[in-house]
Amino acid sequence: MNRGFPLTRQQPWFPGQMGVPGSDVTLGLRTIPQCNVLYVDHDHPDASDAHDGTDPDHPKLTIQAAVDSPWLQPGDLIVVGPATVASTYVGISQPNYHENVLVAHTRPAFVTLMGVGGSRFQVVWDKLAANPTTTPLLDIRTPGWVVSGFKFHAPALGAAIRLRDVSEDALDNTQYTVIEGNYFDGAWAGKYGIELRGAPGNVVIRDNWFLEHHQAGSNAFAIISTNTGNADPYECVLEGNIFMENDNHVDVSFGMTLIRGNAFHLGKLIAAAIKLDLRGGTVGTNLVIGNAMPGDYSNVGGYYGNAANPDNWIGNLADDVAEAEVGDNGFTILPPT
**Cα distance between residue 163 and residue 180, in whole Å:** 14
Q: Is the pLDDT of residue 158 over 80?
A: yes
Give the residue ranges of DSSP H helices in 43-160.
63-67
Contacts of 46 (CB under 8 A, 6+ apart): 21, 22, 57, 58, 59
**Mean pLDDT lowest among 25-34, 44-53, 92-101:** 25-34
Which residue ranges make up each domain of the chain?
82-337
Give per-residue pLDDT as tens, 255-292: 999 999 999 999 999 999 999 999 988 777 899 999 99
Between 167 and 70, the higher pLDDT residue: 70
Q: Is the pLDDT of residue 251 over 70?
A: yes
Separation of alpha carbons 173 and 192, rounded Å = 20
pLDDT band at 39 (very low <50, low <70, confident <90, very high): very high
State whether residue 101 is helix, strand or coil.
Answer: strand
Helix (H, G, I), strand (E, B) or coil at 99: coil
Q: What is the pLDDT of residue 13?
A: 44
| Cβ-Cβ contacts under 8 Å for 34 (sequence gap 6 or more) | 75
**Closest among 275, 278, 279 to 300, alpha carbons compared:** 275
pLDDT band at 172 (very low <50, low <70, confident <90, very high): confident
What is the rounded average pLDDT of the residues 147-158?
Answer: 94
- Top pLDDT among 119 and 317 is at 317
The domain defined by 82-337 folds into: Pectate Lyase C-like (2.160.20)
Residue range 225-249: average pLDDT?
Answer: 90
- Considering only CA atoms, give the Rg of the chain: 21
- Cβ contact 203:236 at 8 Å: yes
pLDDT at 304 over 70: yes
What mean pLDDT do residues 141-162 have? Answer: 95
Confidence of residue 92 (pLDDT cuts 50, 70, 90): very low
